Structure 1
Amino acid sequence: MKIKCVDVVPLQIPFEDGSPGEGLMPTKWTKLDFALVRIETENGLVGWGDGFAYSCRRATVAAIEDMVAPLLAGRELGDLAALNLELQQRLHLHGRYGITTFAISAVDIALWDLKAKAEGVSLARLLGERPATSLPAYASLVRYGAPDLVRSFGAKVVEEGYRTVKLHEIALEAIAAGREGVGASTKMSTDVNCNWSLEQARKIMPEMKRLDLYWVEEPVFPPDDAAVLGELQSEYGVPIASGENACTAVEFARTAPAIRYLQPSVTKVGGVSEFLKVCDLAEAQGAKIMPHAPYFGPGYWATLQLMAARGICEQFEHLYIAPDAYLDPSIPLPENGMVAVPDRPGIGFEPDPAVLDRYRI
């Protein structure tokens, strides 16, 4: 089965989240960017993927079109992990990680989608003998900044049935307000996005212990300093999570022995092929996988399939926002803190052409 063509569909979909829209991205964040990939084989089968595109859509699209797609035309669908490594090697002059790997991630997801479709099974069934049919999901709240907003949104998602909540707050007052909102029995974490200095982290980590955090995510910069992250985890007794910005299993090999939760992001790490390697690495080191998945395109669906196939993955991340539209209206959203895993062939994603036409850039 040969690849006939690789096409990229750049998209942008507005969303609402009840926040000022500031703090998580370099600029105000009110729109979801997509670098959607469509790969068609010579026999008419279509696979879908996407590469990380938030605030970097044009760069990711260009990398797919100019660097990756020309290397795929006419190729046979064979050993996808080997093809992934070949792409990494042939493109390493453009940078081992970042945008190059985002582009490789996009096509790798689409190729695995095709492989499972060719077998007539879901990706989860292709990868696992007895995949899960539903997964625990946590509400990943945006950064609100104001303690009253953190408190009210925390209470809101708990009322909706979530049993785990992640904040993106960096101030102690806001994190404490989150605990008040979600209550003592709800698991709660916070993603610091590398905003604390090491000195600040040492002052605030005892409070994270007092507030019984499930994990603290990327507390300091750089987020892959295994020695510092491991020291914070062991000294203060709060699990540390990191890895959402890491590319390939090579980067995770540094942090896997030191921290509790590894966070591969399928649209960044190198796609399905590298995500699976990170799972193997975590199993070997006694860590757990807490995937990074604040997405609503193929990355969302691929993450569900991978988690269903690999039991080492703990909870599914659902970004708590309201997009104007979903690329695939049948997207399985969490209900009462659980999300169903689609059992359609491939990753289960089939976009609505009308949505693509409306939001195409």
Structure 2
Amino acid sequence: MKITKVETFQVAWGEGKGRSAFVRIETEDGLTGLGEASPMQGGLASLTIIAADMAPFLVGQDVLDHAVLLDTLFHKCVKLGPEGAATAALAAIDIALWDLKGKLFGQPVYKLLGGAWRTSLPCYASVGGNAWRTVDQVVEVVERRVAKEKPAAVKIRWDGDRTKLDVDIPGDIAKARAVRKALGDDFVLGFDANNGYSVGGAMRVGRALEDLGYTWFEEPVQHYHVSAMGEVAQRLDITVSAGEQTYTLQGLKDLINAGVRMVQPDIVKMGGITGLMQCAAIAYANGVDLVPHQTQPSIGHLANLHVLSTIMHLNKPVELADGWERVGSVFKNPSQPDADGLFHLPTAPGLGAEFNEEELRKRSIPISV
């Protein structure tokens, strides 16, 4: 089945709510597949790469030559990085091709990946912006999210100024302690430093988190200091996680070799569904947890669910980030977990996305070159 059209577009969610980056691939039989790229700066760089360098190559190609097409495009654009915008572009293409293949064969993507171990997946509430809040404000936001979403775990994120390290270590520990007190000793908690500490600062915070019974400590130091990340991981007892800013399998391998034991690549940055399945194999081979970072509540989320359903030893919930409700007027499923805090795996062909075409067109901003 030949590809006849590749469209790139942003979707604006409203004032101050940002833009998502999508690609639509159409075939000669009229089937379409939808993919999503990383939304950093609206995903504009990735969409431009697709429009200028990938779409002309893809038109006329066979959808089922999926792996050959991806590897060809990777090496065609390799001098762009290859990390970042180029790999996010490939992720969007990959997800769209899987969506198409599922529709072509009349099967949900997870069936094409080998089947699901589970069709319902618990969520964890990923609560951002805490660098700028007081202790009381952090507790208030966390308690509100827990009451609304019934998550299996909570991760508190800092989202601070990445040009500064160790800004307020006593204050950070105080916030972590207050959340533990509010939710009780048995509640599963994670702490995302968003690259906010030096090695020494990370050790100090990490020891406090161990005493407080936190389960994981995410990106304590700058992501590009792989050896430093590994040093912190090996010196602390708490599980140190990293990988949301890792874009290649080689980069993931380097993190694991450094000592990181929970890896968090993002499906819209790291090769899409194909890339995340490869990450799952590497994690399994090395005995580390795969807990993908994933903050996009539409196509990226559905793609992530399909992959996670296939992982035998999945032992962490699925990320539910801030602003999840923003896609409710366009994508109808599943924009929120159910009353028990569970996401349910779509069973329709492809990704199983259901959306309002008229609303999608109204919010779309075409990207072309």
Cα distance in 2 between the residues matched to 1:302 and 1:224: 29
The equivalences for 1:335-354 within 5 A come to 335=338, 336-354=340-358
Report what 2:80 is aligned to: 94
Which residue in the other structure is 1:167 paired with? 156
Distance 1:174 1:273, change over 3 A: same
Higher mean displacement: 102-111 or 57-66:
57-66
In the alignment, which residue of structure 1 is the partner of 2:320?
318
Give 1:354 deviation, angstroms: 2.6
Q: How many residues align?
A: 346
After superposition, the Cα gap between the structure-2 partners of 1:127 and 1:224, relative to the gap in structure 1 and judged at 3 Å, is: farther
1:285 aligned partner: 286
Note the aligned Cα RMSD (angstroms).
Answer: 1.8
Could you tell which deviates more after superposition, 307-316 or 83-92? 307-316
Match of 1:328 in 2: 331
TM-score by length of 1: 0.90
Report the alpha carbon displacement of residue 98 of structure 1 after superposing the two structures with TM.
0.7
Gap regions ≥5 residues in structure 2: 161-171
Q: What displacement does 1:177 show?
A: 2.3
1:174-253 alignment, distance < 5 Å = 174-223=175-224, 225=226, 227-253=227-253
- Of Structure 1 and Structure 2, the greater helix share is in 2
In structure 1, what residue type is equivalent to 2:136?
D
Secondary structure at 1:69 match in 2: helix
Consecutive unaligned residues in structure 1, runs of 5 or more: 16-29
Q: CA deviation at 1:245?
A: 1.1
Partners of 1:89 and 1:337 in 2: how far apart?
Answer: 41
Q: Which whole-Å deviations, capped at 9, do the CAs of 1:142-192 have from their partners, x for residues lacking one?
A: 113221121112222333421200110372222222223322211010111
Matches within 5 A, 1:13-52: 13-14=13-14, 30-52=16-38
Q: CA deviation at 1:248?
A: 2.1
Of the candidates 59, 68, 73, which is equivalent to residue 82 of structure 1? 68
Q: % of aligned pairs identical? A: 28
**Preserved contact between residue 291 and residue 315 of structure 1 (Cα < 8 Å):** no
State which of 136, 142, 146 in structure 2 corresponds to 1:154.
Answer: 142
| CA deviations over 1:235-257 (Å, ceiling 9, x no partner) | 22010111111112121011124
Compute the displacement of 1:33 (Å).
1.6
Secondary structure of the structure 1 residue equivalent to 2:35: strand
| CA offset digits 1:78-115 (Å, max 9, x no partner) | 24233211111111122211111111111110001111
- Taking a change above 3 Å as real, the CA distance of residues 282 and 245 of structure 1, as seen in their structure-2 partners, is same
Residue type at the aligned position of 1:109: I
In structure 2, C-alpha distance between the alignment counterparts of 1:229 and 1:235, rounded to whole Å: 10
TM-score (norm 2): 0.89
- In structure 2, the partner of 1:68 is 54
Decide whether the 8 Å contact of 2:199 with 2:232 is kept in 1: no
Residue 359 of structure 1 aligns with an amino acid whose one-letter code is R
